[in-house]
A and B are shown apart, each in its own frame.
Chain A
Amino acid sequence: MSKKAPKGEYIETDTGNKVSRRSQIIGTANIILGGKTVIQAEVIIRGDLLRTYPSSSGDGGKGGHPVAVAIGRYCFFARACDLRPPGKMYKGTFSHYPLKIADHVFIGPSSIIEAALVGSHVNIGANCIIGKFVIIKDFVRVLNGTVVPPNMVIPSFSVVAGIPGRVVGEVSEGEVDGFDLRDIYRSIGN
């Protein structure tokens, strides 16, 4: 609990994350927040869905702790979105795999993310479904209501829309500044 504001909407952590009191974060021990990330109300983050298949490179994250969800800096998770590590069968056993999100990632309200990797400066609109093991590279815009099919790899600077999601255009160079989420972070008061 924060000392100065006992009943604000957000709890601010030491690294500047603003986490709503009404978010539903499960398995907090397995989630890494890079700092300055905003998590709004009713967001579900499934940190409990850990990797059970032993990894060869010993990638257990910092200090040997298993990591289910890794999130970079200046990310913004709007109301009621859901982050969930994807799972699949591999060599006869089922395992979940970590969900990695880089910096300056915006995820719109009610979107469900089961991707393997979301690159930096990615903007995902409202009511999107990002399928299992999708890889989204940097500077991608996913428009509202898109259903990205499982295992899709979205190249950098793409605009993706539709059901199923397809690349419908490119992000122009002038637009790139719009992906910076520092101002949004600052605008979130307690």
Chain B
Amino acid sequence: MTAAGNEHGRRAREIALPSGAGSQATFGPWRPGSDFLTSLALLAPAAILFTVVIIIPILQSMWISLHDWDGLGEPRWVGLANYVELFGDPQFYVSLRNNLIWLAVFLLAPPLGLALAMLINQPLRWMGIAKSLFFVPLVLAPVTVGVVFTWFYDPAFGLLAPIARAFGTTAPAILSDPSLVTWGIVVAAIWPQTALCMILYLAGLTNVDEDLIGAGRIDGAHGFSLFRHVVLPQLRGATFIAFAVSVVGALRSFDLIAVMTQGGPFGSSSVLAYQMYEQSIFSYRLGYGAAIAVVLFLIVAVFIAWYLRRVLGEEARN
């Protein structure tokens, strides 16, 4: 308000004064209508919101992680005891390993999504229907996906059992087997994730320059080399976003685990996010839960740093 109201006056002074005069006290950065104040005013809403909902909670989590706290009474300072316990907790390593499985499998979602996008981007009749069918998993709530897959895997009443019987074997009890259970959940999760990547690539494909493809053809590129050297470079933006959402999606995986196994059997399908939830909400150990959250945050921060470097680097190049 102040900034906008003084816009006219600021201009007038700027014209009247030679450059460098801003160092005088009355014309410092805090004078009404300075560039600094204007940017401050414009940044303020976002900065305040970001501080309140992101920065402060992160710092609070770090603070809480140094306490033994049930969420209701007085927190008791325990220093790094929660971290010491966490690094000695076998469940932590199970969760971490499962997070890595999620991450590895989720990295398949972008290539799968790209393959699907290339497949259904053909200008054929009925392709619209195919597109919407592939789009379906994205419309379903994750809870629905979890429930459907749980039924599918059910070793006695599920669809997997008769399918396995038709091939002359018995279906493994995927959600009961500690070595299979995480894979079973990831497969359920990658279904909507692939659809998401497909949509990103379909959007990217509409922006692919026909002229470049034509030029490529004239230069003798066709088939895979045309795709590899002409189409794919133009999909860089989509690829980047697809990988970023897949990585973050893998690290924050929670909903399907909660629906399908509650981390079981005996914690073998838990991930860090679920372990954090279980400790904080179920066991009322907010300090310990916060310690898990901080570790998860640090892992995610590595990817965020990578992401920001890419985005900022890209912007600098343009």
State yes or no: do A and B come from one complex: no
Residues of A within 8 A of B (CB): none
Residues of B within 8 A of A (CB): none
